Every structure is written in C-alpha cells, then in structure tokens.
Amino acid sequence: MREFWNSATGRRITVLVILSILLTGFGTAGYMLLQDYSFIEALYMTVITLSTVGFTEVHPPDTKGRIFTIILIVMGVSFVAFSLAYFSQILLDGNLLAAYRRRRLKKKLDQLENHYIVCGYGEMGQIIVDELHNHKIPVVIIEPDESALARLRENNFLHLSGDATDENNLISAGIHRAKGLVSVVKKDSENVFIVLTARDLNKELLIFARAGSAGTGKRLLKAGANRVVAPYAIGASRIALNILRPTVTDFLDLALSGEGMELGIEEIRIPENSKLVGMELMASGLRSNYDLIVMAIKRADGVMVFNPPPQEIFLAGDILVVIGAVGNLSRFGQDL
C-alpha cells in the first residue's frame, strides 16, 4: 500500500484530496465571514453548493453571499470536471489496475510458505513450472522478458516481473519462507550469481541450478547449489543411450512420464511411527499387498542400497525408490 502512495499516481491523488479539503475549507470560511453563518451552517452550505444538490439554504444570502456562491460553484464544477477527467485517464492508462494487481500479488506472495522460486521461464523453466504445477506444488516465477511474462499471465501463474539477480526480487518472492529455488536463466554467470545470493539469504534453501558449460557446474556447487543439471550433457547421454539401449530408454520414458502406461516411479519416506520400521522387506507386504518393487533404499545418512535383498530391514527416515502401478503407489503412500 505504501508503494502505491509513493508512486506518481498516488501522489497526484493525494494532491486532489488536499485540494478538495482546501476548497471545502475556503467555502466554509467564506460563508462564515460574509454571511455570519456558524461553522456547521457554513459547512452545510459549502457541501450543497459544491455538490449542486440544491437543498434548502440555511438563510437567504445577500448580494455578497450570492456572488461568493457563484464563485464557489464555478470553482467546484471546474474541480469536479478536472478530477473526473484525471481519474478517467488513470483508468484508461491502467495505472490503478496495475497498482491493484501489484497489491494483490504482494498479498499472495506474503501468504506463501514452503514454495519453490523458479528463476527464468525459458524452455527449461516452462517444463519445470508445468511439472510442479501438475503436482500442486506452489511456485513463484521471476522473469524479466515481456513475451514470457505474457505467457505467465495467460496461464495465471504467480510471477514477478524483474531480474532474478536482484536481491530485492528474491526477497519479494519470499525466499526466506521458500523450500527451494531453481535457477535456469540463460547465462551461466547469472545462474552463479543467483545461487550465491540465494544461499546468502537462506542457508536452508534447496537450490537447483542449470549449467550450460562443463566448468560452470563446479562454480555453482561452490556458490551453494545442492544439485546442478547440465542439460547438454544429459541430452548427449540420452541420445547415446537411445542408440545403445533403446528398449531401456523407452521403458524409463514411460515410467517417468506416466504417459502410455499406468506405471510410475516414486520416492517414499518411511516416518518414525510407521509399522515398517524394523521390519524386513520380505515381511512388509509391498509385493504381495501393493504389487510394488523396491529398487533402492536411501538411508538417512545418505548410503544407497540398490536392489535390496528380502532380509533388508527398514529404518526410520529411509527413502524407498519404488516402481509399480500409479494407483498402487498412491495407495501405499496413503497407508504409510
């Protein structure tokens, strides 16, 4: 709200309000001096004169009073006409609408918690935002490009217009309350700077970054990124995998995308109060009751157990990498 009143439009509206108060005061003082009215009577006469409602006069004015009333009517009509023209121009220019949108956006951003901030809405950013949105994860996008902003407005995504390298934009996006940040702007130098700034603002933040060149990955990790993705290297590896193991690639694409078959791969954490804690894999019922396959177990200390044997014991905090029908995965997650 303070931002609006500090803007040019807010200052002009303030001037109009002050002028209307001064005009009312001028009329009230004039009637009190020229017609010997009381304050309430003079204020009443001023209001009905300026508003041109035509109510009964307090006392029949003399010649001086009539001349003063004519002057006051001319001043009042001119002021009202000017105010209407000015407000019409503001509405046509969209200044008030823009101020309203900014205020509503700020209110929404202030209410967000445990959300993700995506810096950059290019090709990678669009895919990331769509996936997070499909999984109902709250997202705020920071993007300076006007064409990208038009797409964001069209899709009704929560976003900020500006440069993600600006610390103030990260703060406005709620970085202190965010769960994670994804930096996928086009320039590697900007990604490094964004990661460095984000880590300085929030030490607990999960940060994922894009590395366009081989040497940038190390810089991003040193700057504070938790995970770094090199899309060109991943793309090259995927092409090679398509050549060498096309069936494996097709299976992974179907399992990870969920398109064409009711199969999915999920990671599910075992809570401390779960009945699975201390239980062997063969006795858990994951295969018999849910028809799920445990591909790997990630321990709380980061150790990864691939293709765990039937005698493997589940511990609190374990993350299970499970594959199976989407419906069964959902049912197991709810039961767990």
Residue type, 273: N
What CA–CA distance (Å, rounded) separates 274 from 278?
9
Sequence-ordered list of residues with C-beta below 8 angstroms from that of 277, at least 6 positions apart, any chain: 270, 314, 315, 316
Instruction: Tell whether 170 and 216 lie within a shared domain.
Output: yes
What pLDDT is recorded for position 208?
Answer: 96
Range of the domain at 293: 259-335
Look at residue 336 in the predicted model and tell me its pLDDT: 77
- Those residues of the chain that have pLDDT short of 70 are 1-12, 52-56, 89-100, 255-262
- The one-letter amino acid at 128: I
Number of domains in the chain: 3
* Residues 164-210 pLDDT 10s: 999 999 999 999 999 999 999 999 999 999 999 999 999 999 999 99
* pLDDT tens per residue across span 52-63: 666 667 777 788
For the entire predicted model, the pTM comes to 0.63
Residue 313 domain-assigned (yes or no): yes
Among 333, 332, 325, smallest CA distance to 261 is for 325
Letter for the amino acid at 72? L
CATH number for the domain spanning 173: value is 3.40.50.720
CATH of the domain at 84: 1.10.287.70
Spatial neighbors of 59 by CB under 8 A, at least 6 apart, are 35, 37, 41
User: At 270, which CATH number?
Assistant: 3.30.70.1450
